[in-house]
């Protein structure tokens, strides 16, 4: 089953869970897809599991995947601009 699967636009404040992470609907707006069909974009707010920062992400009414991390951690592998976060690089081996 996908992360998001609605037939009608849910109300703001709706909370869903996706892979142990909760997302709160904070907005929705209509948009026209490339093929001309009208659809809706949902805006979700969640917290990054890496740093706890709130972030927002968007989806359609039906989607299989939701972004799970804040913009900073989403770009894993790309250089972090100005803020250095040692936690990202900490790796301890047991034993």
Candidate list 4, 25, 48, 66; residue touching Zn ion; CB under 5 A: 48
Return the residue of 26, 43, 50, 61 that touches Zn ion, per CB under 5 A: 50
Contact by Cβ (8 Å): 28, 43: yes
Q: Which is nearer to Zn ion, 30 or 86 (CB)?
A: 86
40 touching Zn ion, by CB under 5 A: no
Which of 14, 24, 47, 73 contacts Zn ion by CB under 5 A?
Answer: 73
Q: What is the sign of the dihedral through the CA atoms of 77, 83, 84 and 88?
A: negative
Rounded alpha-carbon distances, angstroms, from residue 80 to 53, 67, 73, 76, 85: 16, 18, 9, 9, 9
Query: Which of the ranges 12-20, 22-30, 72-80, 83-91 carries the binding residues for Zn ion, by CB under 5 A?
Result: 72-80
Q: Tokens 């849910």 appear where?
A: 10
Q: Rule CB under 5 A: which residues touch Zn ion?
A: 48, 50-51, 53, 70, 73
């Amino acid at each position: 089953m996908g992360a998001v699967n609605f037939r009608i636009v849910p109300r703001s404040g709706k909370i869903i869970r996706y892979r142990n992470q909760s997302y709160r609907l904070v907005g929705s707006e209509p948009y026209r897809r490339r093929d001309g069909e009208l659809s809706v974009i949902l805006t979700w707010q969640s917290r990054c599991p890496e740093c706890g920062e709130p972030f927002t992400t968007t989806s359609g009414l039906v989607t299989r995947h939701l972004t799970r991390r804040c913009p900073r951690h989403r770009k894993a592998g790309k250089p972090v601009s100005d803020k250095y976060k040692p936690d990202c690089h900490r790796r301890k081996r047991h034993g």
